[in-house]
Amino acid sequence: MSTALAITILAGISTLAMLSFLVRENSIYRAFEHIFIGLSAGLGLVVTVRDFLYPKILMPMFGWDIVVFPDGTIKDPGHPLAWMYAIPLAFGLLYYTMYFPRYSWMARLVIGFSFGAGGGLAIKGFFNEILPQVTASFKPLVVFDEGTIAWMSSFNNTVFVFTLLCTMAYFFFTFRRGEALRGIAGSGGRWLMMVCFGAFFGSTVMARMAILVERLQFLLIDWTDALLKVVGYV
């Protein structure tokens, strides 16, 4: 049996094992589920080392990226400051103090640092991503096209701004309840959000079914074909 055929056969068995969960949870499903977790963990570890730790940190840190011509002249001096990567590496290793109760407080330093860095970065990210969103929300309610009113665009913009304001009003909890305007805007906001969630549901159906259809296509066509080849019908 060729490797390609073996791969297809194995992929079909794996797919069926997963789908067997639909009948009821069973030991075959559980076995393959554990295999999947194991493979993911193994792949994650190697890829992180291969694609980040080794080329970006270890190579420059140990000077493995310095390139020298055969006559001893230096072609690429590498990163002169890369030895300093030893500091974050050593700091990151403090995570492992959590296994030693006496020193476990040190792990909190690293966790705190990572949270802080994430927070600092998120501040910048917020402005870069959200400000264009705010700007794009100021739409003209009456749109002119070559001197005449573009009715469709005007209608769309009006609906857009109305929906945006109503939905935002729904989340304003600092207003006093019972105010007429807020009541109307809030209800309108809720209804319009439902329209949005409906669109999400419609899109979700497509996303989930697409994955299922792809698997069924594999089982019914590729896998069946491979099975027939193994049995000798094709």
Partner 1 sequence: MIRLVTFLGGFYFFLEFLLPTEFFGFSFAPYHEYITNGIITVGVAAIGLGLISILRVHGTRILKVSPGWFPSTLLLLSMFAMIFATGNEAILDRNDAKLYERAALLREFATLVAKDGGTAELSAEARTTIALEAVETFIQELPTSAEPEADQSAFQELVVAKTELQRRIDSGSRETLPGVNEGLAQVATALRAYKTTVREASSNRKVYNLLYQGLWTALAAAMFSLLGFYIAAAAYRAFRVRSVESALMMGAAVIVMLGQIPFGVWLYEGLPALRSWFLSVPSSAAFRAIRLGAGVAALLMAIRMWLCLDRKGGKA
Partner 2 sequence: MIRSLLRFIDARRLIFILVLVTLSLPLLLRWSVPPVRMTAAELLFNEIEKIPTDVPGKIVYLALDYGPGTKAESGSQAKALIEHLMRRRIKFLVTAQVLDAAPIINSIPDEVAAGLMELYPNEKWEYGIDWVNMGYTAGAGLNIQNVAKAASIPNFFKRDARGNSTAEIPLFNGVTSIESVSALIQITAYVGTLESYLQFFANEKYRPIFLHGCTSIATPQSFIYLDSGQIKGLLEGIAGAAWYGKLLSDKYPDRPVDDSVVINTTLGVAHLLVILLIVAGNFVGIFGTRASKRRTDV
Give residues in contact with partner 2 (CB under 8 A).
22-23, 40, 43-44, 47-48, 50-52, 55-56, 59, 65, 76, 117, 121, 124-126, 128-129, 132-133, 135-136, 196, 199-200, 203-217, 220-221
Measured from the CB atom, the residue of 121 and 234 that comes closer to partner 1 is 121
Judged by beta carbon distances under 5 to 8 A according to partner kind, the member of partner 1, partner 2, none in contact with residue 175 is none
Measured from the CB atom, the residue of 98 and 147 that comes closer to partner 1 is 98
User: Nearest CA to 182 among 159, 166, 158, 196?
Assistant: 166
Kindly state the smallest distance separating residue 177's Cβ from partner 2, in Å: 29
Q: Which of 25, 26, 45, 103 is the binder for partner 1 (CB under 8 A)?
A: 45
Residues with Cβ within 8 Å of residue 61, at least 6 apart in sequence: 82, 83, 85, 86, 89
Measured from the CB atom, the residue of 84 and 141 that comes closer to partner 1 is 84
Kindly state the smallest distance separating residue 4's Cβ from partner 2, in Å: 13
8 A C-beta contact, residue 14 and residue 219: no
Can you give the three-state secondary structure of 14-40, one letter per residue?
Answer: HHHHHHHHHCCCCHHHHHHHHHHHHHH
Residues with Cβ within 8 Å of residue 121, at least 6 apart in sequence: none
Q: Which of 145, 197, 220, 228 is the binder for partner 1 (CB under 8 A)?
A: 197
Measured from the CB atom, the residue of 142 and 221 that comes closer to partner 2 is 221
8 A C-beta contact, residue 141 and residue 161: yes
Kindly state the smallest distance separating residue 15's Cβ from partner 2, in Å: 12
Sign of CA dihedral 144, 146, 148, 152: negative
Q: Is 202 in the site for partner 1 (CB under 8 A)?
A: yes
